[in-house]
Amino acid sequence: MLGDSAQINCCPKTMRVLDIIATKRDGKELSKSEIEFLIKGYVGGDIPDYQMAAFLMATYIRGMSRQETAALTMAMAKSGDQLDLSTIPGRKVDKHSTGGVGDKTTLVVGPLVAAAGVPVAKMSGRGLGHSGGTIDKLESIPGFRVELTETEFFSNLRQIGLVISGQTGNLAPADKKIYALRDVTATVASIPLIASSVMSKKIAAGADAIVLDVKCGSGAFMPDLKSAQLLAQAMVDIGTSVGRQTVAVVTNMDQPLGMAVGNALEVKEAILTLQNQGPEDLTILALTLGAHMLTLAGRTSSTEEGEQILRELLATGAAWNKFRELVIAQGGDVKTVEQLELLPQSQFKLPVLAPKDGYVAQVRADKIGRASMSLGAGREKKEDVIDLAVGIMVNHKVGDKVRQGDLLAEVHANDTARGRAAVTEVLEAYTIVSEPVISPALVYQVIE
């Protein structure tokens, strides 16, 4: 299905963007060199937004083959700097979540895996829309520096085996530019485009192996299991085809992860989890992802062995201690993570009460995420300033039995009018039924 691309392959100079768009529009397969031409031209400013937008829409509708998706990923990965982690001994394993509500897993998994002796070099992002970002959460810790120079990044990694920062250097600029265009052209929710976007950044960040947490449900990009499985498989295929061993864990994001949603609230919950007192779902997810990371790093020969090691590191306080080392290494005030009341606190706490007796059948993650955003915990636009103290504590989750008047959730607000509006939104996220409800599975599938 190469269409006109045979001619294009033999004579790169004759390539025209128009032909590339038309090939995709007609559902034909593009060659690697055509995809490279397109990405180079767009990053270099020779191809205008309107042509890239047409290409993205054609891709959204027609899809891409495995080969095309891999070629797009590598072209984007090579569009800027690529981090070379080869001077750090051992296999470097990265972890990435496709984004969800209350997802503070990186804050737990990073120190946990580093405490097991596997170096973790993590570049994370800020939150956009209703899903939060690790970098914003870490900024709840007074003094914590998320912007590190490359020298600091490597020095911390060598000294304590753990670094979590915003992006250093100019990694995958093609993805940055294309993602901004997708955001305003209704072309975000495309499996090849999401898969290449995520994997290009992971590959440019230098990982030898990658563990992906692919979220599925109302609070995720992929609302149903089938599309989450397809996205997970697409990313595993890309990783495999470019020599980076990749494992994808498809997990539930119908309800928020853990109880805390909001930046400082999530940091507190991550700390409690590292102290072995966290919610069960967050603890299990951290152990599951961490165990895959240890196996991919060659530290353990099975995930069962990995989970056992990680459980001990939680129980002995070694993982919590590694988090303290991280805070100190990145300039944070360690007192504030040792005495949690020193982290940002909201002025008001508004209760959300159960309107009737029954069983919780739903806590819609998307609605909780939007309620938290409307309190100021997230941003609509990149320039928005967020309120680190506000958010929601989800006290009752799916399967819980509740009585009328029980505290379903608590809204942490700095403005009473916004707080009251959030109480209504949180209540709308809950469905309470009269028949018992089985609490849902957290991990749906592992794709290796």
Q: Hey, which residues between 335 and 364 contact ligand URA (CB under 6 A)? A: none
Single out the residue of 59, 98, 165, 336 in contact with ligand URA (rule: CB under 6 A): 98
**Catalytic residue list:** 96, 175, 182, 197, 201
Tokens found for residue 381:
């636009």
Cβ 345 to ligand URA, closest distance in Å?
31
Cβ 405 to ligand URA, closest distance in Å?
40
**Where does this chain touch ligand URA (CB under 6 A) — which range of 11-19, 187-195, 223-231, 274-282?**
187-195
Q: Which is nearer to ligand URA, 126 or 418 (CB)?
A: 126
Cβ 427 to ligand URA, closest distance in Å?
29
Contact between 157 and 114 (Cβ < 8 Å): no
Q: Which is nearer to ligand URA, 193 or 408 (CB)?
A: 193
User: What residue type is assigned to position 235 of the chain?
Assistant: M
Q: Which is nearer to ligand URA, 214 or 261 (CB)?
A: 214
**Where does this chain touch ligand URA (CB under 6 A) — which range of 61-69, 190-198, 271-279, 386-394?**
190-198
Nearest to 287 by CA among 337, 251, 253, 256: 251
Q: Which is nearer to ligand URA, 199 or 375 (CB)?
A: 199
Cβ 334 to ligand URA, closest distance in Å?
31
Binding mask 295-334 for ligand URA (x = CB under 6 A): ----------------------------------------
> Who contacts 403 (Cβ-Cβ below 8 Å, separation ≥6)?
354, 357
Per CB under 6 A, does 194 bind ligand URA? yes
Instruction: Give me the residue whose beta carbon is nearest to ligand URA.
Output: 197
Nearest to 243 by CA among 91, 116, 120, 121: 91
Cβ 312 to ligand URA, closest distance in Å?
33
C-beta neighbour count of 351 within 10 angstroms: 13
Q: Which is nearer to ligand URA, 156 or 197 (CB)?
A: 197
Single out the residue of 97, 165, 197, 218 in contact with ligand URA (rule: CB under 6 A): 197
Q: Hey, which residues between 124 and 183 contact ligand URA (CB under 6 A)? A: 179
Cβ 205 to ligand URA, closest distance in Å?
12
Contact between 181 and 48 (Cβ < 8 Å): no
Distance CA 237, CA 196 (A): 11
The CA-atom distances, in angstroms, between 214 and each of 18, 100, 158, 205, 418 are: 35, 9, 30, 19, 32
Per CB under 6 A, does 79 bind ligand URA? no
Contact between 329 and 64 (Cβ < 8 Å): no
Single out the residue of 17, 47, 164, 198 in contact with ligand URA (rule: CB under 6 A): 198
Cβ 219 to ligand URA, closest distance in Å?
13
> Who contacts 19 (Cβ-Cβ below 8 Å, separation ≥6)?
4, 8
Q: Which is nearer to ligand URA, 69 or 295 (CB)?
A: 69
Per CB under 6 A, does 187 bind ligand URA? no
Q: Hey, which residues between 215 and 274 contact ligand URA (CB under 6 A)? A: 221
**Where does this chain touch ligand URA (CB under 6 A) — which range of 85-93, 188-196, 242-250, 308-316?**
188-196
User: What residue type is assigned to position 203 of the chain?
Assistant: I
Q: What is the total count of residues that contact ligand URA (CB under 6 A)?
A: 9
**Where does this chain touch ligand URA (CB under 6 A) — which range of 52-60, 186-194, 330-338, 342-350?**
186-194
Cβ 365 to ligand URA, closest distance in Å?
16
Cβ 447 to ligand URA, closest distance in Å?
18
Q: What are the residues binding ligand URA (CB under 6 A)?
A: 98-99, 179, 188, 193-194, 197-198, 221
